[in-house]
Structure 1
Amino acid sequence: MAATASARLVPALINGRTVRIECLPWCVTDHVAESERSLEDVAHAGALTDLVVPGGEPGLRLLAHVRLGADSYAPDPADQDPFLVVSDGSESHHLNPKQAGQFADNLIAFAEQVRSLAHAITEVAS
């Protein structure tokens, strides 16, 4: 991981030894609790943002979530750049910035279609 002004040094447990690693500002991972075998195994994960649907118990059901991720210490530099993780709980997709933007555009178009269908339901119910 290239040193950045926004990275911070945090403790990490690597092969039973506490070391200090650069950690991305959005990472919420406890790198000591993760206790990895090697530096290459260290991964950064951001907080989850959930997409939920109303109904069910306790009132909302998780449809999918997204978070930031990075494998900053991966052996291949091509794998070190941050990415967006999209998951439905059973399957995950890692998106680069361009793909993440396309996904966001798809979500906006989907939301507009859902809104249109919701209006159609309202008109039928009236």
Structure 2
Amino acid sequence: MNGRQIFIECPSWCVTDHVAANEWHLKDIEHAGEMTDLVIPGGPEYRLLAHARLGLDAYGDDAGRGPYVVIDDGSEEYRLTPAEALQHADRLIAHVEQVRQLARRAAA
């Protein structure tokens, strides 16, 4: 940082290579977990709707907040608390059931 390299311990789930990222200031360090993708079929391949991953901004704007779940739809990033992420997951499950019902109706 500012020309001096320091050791920062990452959470066990962090997959970011902070040395390769060449971060110069503590506030620029964000720990990130592996992404899980929500995709939809179409064309020759699947198309991405959103990513989800763990995140931690230990020294920046969200310092002290603790780990959060990042939902990124390609145009905007949402940082959810664990409780908000569980609420989001419940809504996704309800949406999935509605899509299944629509698919069954369309197939009938």
Q: Assess same fold via TM > 0.5.
A: yes
Structure 1 residue 87 and structure 2 residue 58: aligned? no
1:75 and 1:53 map into 2 onto residues whose CA distance is 33
**CA RMSD, 1 decimal:** 1.6
Question: Counterpart of 1:64?
Answer: 50
**Would the aligned equivalents of 1:15 and 1:36 in 2 still touch at CA under 8 Å?**
no
Question: Counterpart of 1:50?
Answer: 37
- Structure 2 residue runs without a partner (length 5+): none
Name the aligned partner's letter for residue 27 of structure 1. C
Question: Counterpart of 2:59?
Answer: 73
Tell me the SS of whatever aligns to 2:102. Answer: helix
Which residue of 81, 89, 103 corresponds with 1:118?
A: 103
Q: Point out the structure with max Rg over C-alpha.
A: 1
Which residue of 106, 110, 113 corresponds with 2:91?
A: 106
Q: CA deviation at 1:76?
A: 6.5
* Identity value in percent: 55
Q: CA deviation at 1:19?
A: 2.0
Q: CA deviation at 1:40?
A: 2.3
Question: Counterpart of 1:36?
Answer: 23
- Output one character per residue of 1:67-114: Cα deviation in whole Å (capped at 9) or x when no partner: 1100122377543x1100101101110000110010000000000000
Which residue of 14, 19, 29 corresponds with 1:27?
A: 14
After superposition, the Cα gap between the structure-2 partners of 1:67 and 1:40, relative to the gap in structure 1 and judged at 3 Å, is same
After superposition, the Cα gap between the structure-2 partners of 1:53 and 1:75, relative to the gap in structure 1 and judged at 3 Å, is closer
- Output one character per residue of 1:26-57: Cα deviation in whole Å (capped at 9) or x when no partner: 11100001112222221101111000001124
TM normalised by structure 1 equals 0.79
Name the aligned partner's letter for residue 21 of structure 1. I
TM normalised by structure 2 equals 0.91
After superposition, the Cα gap between the structure-2 partners of 1:71 and 1:39, relative to the gap in structure 1 and judged at 3 Å, is same
2:17 and 2:62 map into 1 onto residues whose CA distance is 24
- Structure 1 residue runs without a partner (length 5+): 1-13
